[in-house]
Amino acid sequence: MLGECGMKEWERLALRKNSVTMLQDLVVDDLLIQCLQQDGILTENMAESIMAKSTSQGKSRHLLFLLPKRGPLAFSSFCAALTATEQQHLCRLLMDFTEKDKSFSEPQLSLPTQECVIPAKRARTYESMEMRLDADCPVTTAVLPCTPEFYQSHRSQAYPMRSCPRGLALVLSNVRFDSSNTDLDIRRGGEVDEETLRRLFTEMDFTVSLRKDLTAEAMRGCLEQFAQQQDHAEYDCAVVCLLSHGVEGSIYGTDGQLVELDWVFEVFDNARCPLLQNKPKMFFIQACRGEEMDNGVDQLDGEERTLSPGCEQRDAGREEERDNKVRMEKERESLRVKLPQRSDMICGFATLKGTAAMRNTKKGSWFIQELNTAFRQRANNTHLSDMLVQVNGRIKSREGYAPGSAHHRCKEMSEFTSSLCKDLYLFPKYYPNN
C-alpha cells in the first residue's frame, strides 16, 4: 500500500524542473517498468497504459505524470530504476538538483547500492575469435531527434520512414556455450553489447526482441519466425543483430554448430520475406557474399506493366512469337514489376574477412560501441551508409590496450556492404503524421 503520503515537494520540484531533459533523454523500457512494479510503485494497469503509448516521449510523459501521485517511495524507486537501466546521468541530474535546491529538513536521500536484477546482456557481431581488451569507450548520450526541417528537405530521396514504431528489431546474442559439445569460450563482456543494442533501438522507437544463448537450430527457427511476423507489413524497416563467435561466412550456435550467414540473408530476401519488399533491412553481423544466378521474383502487389521499358533483349529475353498478338495480350495482363532476389539490405561487419574482432570485457566490443555512438549522435541528420563510413573511421583509429600480451596495440577494421536503393535516414523521434 502506498498510503496517503505523497511524494515530497522537493522531489516533485526536481522532476518538474528537469522535465524537458527527462522527456528528451529518458528511455522507458520493460526493465525500468519492471523495477517500478517490483517496488509497488506502478500497478499492472499503469504499466500497460505507459507501454501502450506509441512514442518514447509519450511513454516518458505518461510515467512522469503518474510518479508524483505514487507515494513517498516513488522518487527513490525511480532513481534506483534509472541506475538499474544504466541511465545514471538522469539519476545524477535529479539528485544534484535536490542537493542544491531543496530547502527542507528531510534527511538526505540515498540510493540503494544494489541495482534491480538485470538480465545479462550484450554481444558482438563478427569474429573467428575475439580478443578481450580493456580500453576506453564512448560515453552513452541520448539519441538526438530529427528536426521537421531536416525531414522535409531529405524525405524525397529517402526510404519512407513514418511508422511508429519504426520497425521490428531482433538481437540474437550467444555468450555462454555448451562445454560438452564445443570448446568455445564464454564471450565475457558479451552482455554489454546486447544491452547496448536493446537500449539503442528501443530509444529509436523500434520494437526490440532479445534472444540469448541459442543453439544453431534455435537460431534458425527464431530468424524464420521473425521474418514472417505480420507486423512488418505496418512498419517501415527491420533490424537484425547477430552476436556470437564466428568463422568466415557463418556464426556459432551455443552447441558449436554453424549458421550460414548467406542462409540468413535468404530468409529476408524478396521471395521469402515479401512483407519487407522495398523496405530497408539492416544487419549488424559478419556476412559472406554469394554469386548464385538471380532469376528474379514477382513483386508482391506490384504494379501491372505491359513491357519492361529500357530493357535490352539480352536482359529481358527474346520473344520468338512476336506476331502472336493474343499471347502478347495475355502476357501484358499477367506481368508485374520484378524485383531482384535480394535488395534493400545493408550489413555492417565488425571486422574484415579472416581477421579477429576486438571485445572489451567490461565495455563491449569496439564495433558495437562505435555503432551506438554514431546512431546516437548522427542519426538525426546522417543516412546509414555515411554513419557506417564514420564507424569505419573510428574503428581504424582504435588500437588494443593489453600491456604484456601479444594483442597490445592490435588493430581492427570494420566494413559494410549495401544493396540499398535510396538514402536510409531513420529520422529519429520525428513522426510527420503526429
The residue from 288, 311, 408, 421 that is catalytic is 288
Cα–Cα nearest to 123, from 327, 430, 367:
367
Would residue 35 show up in a list of annotated catalytic residues for this protein? no
Q: With contact defined as beta carbons under 8 Å apart, do 238 and 278 qualify?
A: no
Q: Does residue 165 have a cis bond before it (omega within 30 degrees)?
A: yes
Dist. CA 296–CA 225, nearest whole Å: 24
**Is 288 among the catalytic positions?**
yes
Identify the active-site residue in 146, 241, 245, 347: 245
For residues 325 and 203, what is the distance between their CA atoms, to the nearest angstrom? 57
- Contact predicate 209/169, CB 8 Å: yes
Beta bridge partners of 258: 252
C-alpha cell at 9: 515537494
| 419 in Cβ contact with 396 (< 8 Å) | no
Residues involved in catalysis: 245, 288
